[in-house]
């Protein structure tokens, strides 16, 4: 009987040692750095079970053992708190750290940059091409109402929600800048200022020229001169940006009878020709004061400005010589 007692006691001690060793090993495996070599974005599908998530993580090389992950979710009481979505997993994250990420709900932020000077149709094409966004766009927004910027969003965000964010951002910025505008500007409404800013946006991509270009158009407006800006003709020819301009602008195009053709109409066109950026809006509301009435490309990426037609014609001649010499 005594021998049996000693044998049972020895087995008990052995079992305790084995259990303790297994527990320590499991704890070590749960918290040791994982096998993932580089940061990765993972997608946990809605309705995925905990075992399915564990298998996915193992197959993707994020964790070593799916059963360690399952054990960790039990220990952390997280087996019913894992959330579907897109997540950033850092390189060498432990199984415990991965569990914490999936419980946190802090999802991966996708990014979409809307450049300055695009039309609504061009922006819609970008939104439709982004597979992380969902839903069909209900209404094409008016040009000049979306703020060009980099936007962050989680997978599954609707395209209409992102458009609303762009509209709110533009509205907020315009109201703030309109209040700070220069005195004596000829714009009767904020929309007129946005129309001019859209023209400035399309005429020059050089930040240091925007206020000067805005000043040129302002001088022409004050003198009752047509704006004569090519981008408005292109806007007319492309049906407001619905189709690409796949050819050069011809001289005959300048005679096009269209409300947006500023070679044929007086004053501003009826609406913006693109979505201008912040710098073009500020330049329009704070134009440079000068006597320039004309400008033409100078061959260096910028423009040559002139106060008289005679001077402008010399600049045009120099530009033509430059283009012929290429």
145: CB partners within 8 A, 6+ apart: 166, 167, 170, 171, 275
What is residue 71's predicted lDDT score, i.e. its pLDDT? 86
Cβ atoms 284, 193 nearer than 8 A: yes
| Tens-digit pLDDT string for the chain (326 aa) | 555 444 544 454 544 444 444 445 556 678 889 899 999 999 999 999 999 999 999 999 999 988 888 888 888 888 888 899 999 999 999 988 998 999 998 999 999 999 999 999 999 999 999 999 999 999 999 999 999 999 999 999 999 999 999 999 999 999 999 999 999 999 999 999 999 999 999 999 898 999 999 999 999 999 999 999 999 999 999 999 898 888 899 999 999 999 999 999 999 999 999 999 999 999 999 999 999 999 988 878 889 999 999 999 898 888 888 777 65
In the chain the first and final C-alpha atoms are separated, in Å, by: 108
The secondary structure of residue 139, as a DSSP letter, is S
Distance CA 138, CA 201 (A): 27
Residue 9 to residue 4: CA distance in whole angstroms:
8
Secondary structure letter of residue 158 according to DSSP: B
Q: From CA 147, how far away is CA 253, in angstroms rounded?
A: 30
Q: Look at residues 279, 306, 300, 255 and name the one whose alpha carbon lies nearest to residue 200.
A: 279
| Other residues' Cβ atoms within 10 Å of the Cβ of residue 250 | 10
In the chain the domains, ranked by start, together with CATH numbers, are 34-108 (3.30.1490.480), 193-324 (no CATH)
Q: Which two tokens stand for residue 187?
A: 């714009």
DSSP state of 245: -
Complete DSSP assignment for 26-83: HHHHHHS--S--S-EEEEEPTT--HHHHHHHHHHTTS-S-HHHHHHHHHHTT-TTT--
Q: So what's the pLDDT on residue 13?
A: 52
Using CA atoms, how far apart are residues 45 and 67, in angstroms rounded to an integer? 20
């Amino acid at each position: 009987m005594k021998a049996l007692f000693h044998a049972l006691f020895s087995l008990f001690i052995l079992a305790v040692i084995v259990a303790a060793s297994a527990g320590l090993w499991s704890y070590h495996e749960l918290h040791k750095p994982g096998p993932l070599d580089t940061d990765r974005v993972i997608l946990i599908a809605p309705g995925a079970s905990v075992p399915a998530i564990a298998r996915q993580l193992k197959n993707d090389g994020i964790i070593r053992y799916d059963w360690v992950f399952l054990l960790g979710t039990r220990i952390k009481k997280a087996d019913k708190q894992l959330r579907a979505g897109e997540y950033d997993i850092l390189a060498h994250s432990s199984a415990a750290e991965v569990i914490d990420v999936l419980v946190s709900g802090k999802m991966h932020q996708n990014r979409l940059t809307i450049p300055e000077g695009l039309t609504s149709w061009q922006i819609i094409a970008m939104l439709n091409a982004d597979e992380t966004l969902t839903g069909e766009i209900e209404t094409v927004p008016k040009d000049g109402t979306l703020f060009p910027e980099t936007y962050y969003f989680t997978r599954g965000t609707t395209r209409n929600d992102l458009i609303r964010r762009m509209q709110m951002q533009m509205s907020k910025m315009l109201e703030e800048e309109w209040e700070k505008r220069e005195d004596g500007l000829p714009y009767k409404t904020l929309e007129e200022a946005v129309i001019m800013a859209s023209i400035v946006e399309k005429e020059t991509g050089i930040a240091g020229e925007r206020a000067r270009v805005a000043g040129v158009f302002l001088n022409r407006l004050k003198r009752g001169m047509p704006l004569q800006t090519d981008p408005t003709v292109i806007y007319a020819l492309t049906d407001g940006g619905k189709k690409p301009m796949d050819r050069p602008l011809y001289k005959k195009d300048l005679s096009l009878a269209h409300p947006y053709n500023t070679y044929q109409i007086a004053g501003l066109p009826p609406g913006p020709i693109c979505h201008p950026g912040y710098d073009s809006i500020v330049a329009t509301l704070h134009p440079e004061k000068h006597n320039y009435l004309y400008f033409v490309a100078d061959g260096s990426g910028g423009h040559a400005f002139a106060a008289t037609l005679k001077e402008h014609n010399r600049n045009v001649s120099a530009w033509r010589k430059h283009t012929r010499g290429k």
